[in-house]
């Protein structure tokens, strides 16, 4: 109930999302009871190491998981509608009584899911990816791409109107020679220009929410910064909400209104940047990421470097998923034995600041 209140008024609210895959290595728990939200007009950063479940959570929102998920559960509320509504019909509930839905009728599940997301994917929620050139169709021009996207929002646009809209959007994404670029094919665009075009394509449908999955990772550092500044100014000008996915925590410090940190498929900390960056009052994992980003190398702080590697997604450790790498657990009153045994719940340390770590349980 508490969580429901915390997510009230959000444009997007992901609650206890689980997306698991059956693989020949076993059950991959890609997203495992992750919760996060994006308020109207907010720039939210979803941060975590590679493999932490960031992309699978975004693709779950978009209904774009490319292989059949074995198990799905939780809620994805967007503008008051649960995008996972009624999918339980195509699932069976685990016999051990847990509320995890095992997808039995994959084609029925997919059909229903497609229905749930119809009118939302590409229209109310847009998405851009790491590799912009491969997201564009090589046979179509920039004008075609933007025009088609605008057509999703406005019926019966003429070719000329679509062309005008394409020109307008190219200016909005600060392309310096829109009249040339509008005729270009994807292969003629540089990486940075292609990403601007992708942003224009996604936004021409006038979505409420833009999900950007590592959109700057493949770009040079200077271009990266330009794209980020562009997204930030578009967010402010258009009252757009952005879910920005990145492995780079430093991006969060400059651009985000709020940050959610993912580890092993869970959100282990969330809150505004100033709270998360308070280095004596954050999750040891977040602190390790910050430490690495700031490249502090004094001996005194050495224990703050995150050692080891993220858990294998099939065999998660018991208790807190971070405990095998955590240097802080030994400082707790029980020497960290609870961390090894029991998974921390969401602890509210401050208004809007939540941490899943036993260190923040009163008494520790
Ligand atoms: N279609 C799939 N089938 C099986 N496992 C998958 C699939 N997609 C992703 N995974 C696994 O899920 C985990 C999370 O992946 P992902 O969300 O892509 O991580 P991130 O985006 O944080 O780097 C990884 O272990 C990945 O190998
Ligand atoms: Mg990813």
Q: What is the pLDDT of residues 118-146, one digit of tens each?
A: 889 999 999 999 988 888 999 999 999 99
Atom 14, ligand 1: residue with shortest CA distance: 53
* Protein residue with its CA nearest to atom 7 in ligand 1: 21
| Model confidence at 95: pLDDT above 70 | no
- pLDDT for 337 equals 93
Per-residue confidence band for 5, with pLDDT thresholds at 50, 70 and 90: very low
Sorting pLDDT into bands at 50, 70 and 90, what band is 163?
A: very high
Quote the ligand 2 centre to 355 CA distance (angstroms).
23
CA of 130 to the centre of ligand 2 (A): 9
Confidence of residue 65 (pLDDT cuts 50, 70, 90): confident
Virtual CA dihedral for 75, 76, 80, 82, nearest 10 degrees?
-60
Model pLDDT, residue 196: 96
Q: Which residue has the tokens 């930030």?
A: 232
**Ligand 1 atom at minimal distance to the Cα of residue 31:** 14
**Domain range list for the chain:** 2-123+249-360, 136-245
Distance between CA atoms of residues 37 and 139, nearest Å:
37
Token pair, residue 51, equals 């493999």
Domain 136-245 carries which CATH code? 3.40.50.300
Model confidence pLDDT, tens digit, residues 318-347: 999 999 999 888 888 888 899 999 999 999
Q: Is 222 exposed, middle or buried (0-12, 13-18, 19+ CB in 10 A)?
A: exposed
Phi, psi of 336 (to 5 degrees): 90, 10
Please say whether the structural domain 2-123+249-360 has been given the CATH code 3.40.50.300: yes
Ligand 1 atom at minimal distance to the Cα of residue 214: 21
Q: How far apart (Å, rounded) are the C-alpha atoms in residues 146 and 3?
A: 39
pTM above 0.85, yes or no: yes
Q: Comparing 2-123+249-360 with 136-245, is the CATH topology the same?
A: yes
Question: Rounded to an integer, what distance in angstroms lies between the CA atom of residue 251 and that of residue 226?
Answer: 12
| pLDDT grade for 296, boundaries at 50, 70 and 90 | low
Residues facing residue 13 across a β-bridge: 37, 77
Distance 51 CA to ligand 2 centre (A): 7
Atom 19 in ligand 1: residue holding the nearest Cα: 51
Atom of ligand 1 nearest to the CA of 56: 17
Question: Which residue reads 């394509």 in tokens?
Answer: 201
Listed range (28-37, 64-73, 248-257) with the worst mean pLDDT: 64-73
Q: How far is the CA of 176 from the centre of ligand 1 (A)?
A: 37
For residue 37 and ligand 1, the question of a CB distance below 6 A is answered with no
The residue to which tokens 């039995």 are assigned: 104
């Amino acid at each position: 109930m508490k969580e429901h209140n915390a997510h009230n008024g959000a444009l997007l609210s992901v609650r206890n999302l689980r997306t698991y895959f059956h693989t020949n290595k076993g059950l991959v728990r890609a997203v495992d009871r992750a919760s996060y939200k994006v308020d109207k007009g907010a720039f939210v950063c979803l941060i975590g190491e590679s493999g932490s479940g960031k992309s699978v959570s975004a693709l779950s929102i978009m209904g774009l998981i490319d292989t059949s998920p074995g198990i799905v559960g939780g809620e994805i509320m967007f503008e008051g509608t649960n995008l996972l509504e009624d999918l339980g019909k195509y699932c069976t509930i685990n016999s051990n009584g847990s509320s995890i839905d095992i997808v039995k009728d994959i084609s029925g599940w997919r059909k229903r899911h497609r229905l749930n997301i119809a009118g939302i994917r590409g229209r109310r929620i847009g998405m851009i990816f790491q590799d912009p050139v491969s997201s564009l169709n090589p046979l179509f021009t920039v004008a075609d791409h933007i025009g088609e996207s605008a057509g999703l929002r406005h019926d019966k646009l003429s070719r000329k109107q679509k062309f005008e809209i394409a020109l307008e959007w190219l200016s909005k994404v600060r392309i310096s020679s829109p009249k040339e670029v509008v005729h270009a094919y994807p292969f003629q665009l540089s990486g940075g220009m292609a990403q601007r075009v992708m942003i224009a394509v996604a936004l021409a449908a006038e979505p409420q929410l833009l999900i950007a999955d590592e959109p700057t990772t493949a770009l040079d550092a200077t271009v990266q910064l330009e794209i980020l500044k562009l997204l930030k100014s578009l967010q402010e000008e258009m009252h757009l909400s952005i879910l920005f996915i990145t492995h780079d925590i430093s991006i969060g410090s400059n651009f985000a209104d709020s940050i959610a940190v993912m580890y092993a498929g869970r959100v282990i900390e969330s809150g505004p940047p100033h709270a998360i960056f308070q280095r004596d009052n954050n999750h040891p994992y977040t602190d390790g990421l910050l430490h690495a980003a700031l490249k502090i190398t004094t001996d005194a702080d050495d224990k703050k470097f995150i050692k080891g590697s993220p858990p294998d997604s099939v065999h998660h450790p018991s208790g807190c998923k971070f405990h095998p790498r955590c240097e802080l657990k030994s400082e707790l009153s029980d020497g960290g034995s609870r961390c090894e045994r029991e998974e921390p719940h969401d602890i509210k340390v401050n208004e809007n600041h939540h941490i899943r770590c036993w260190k923040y349980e009163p008494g520790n």
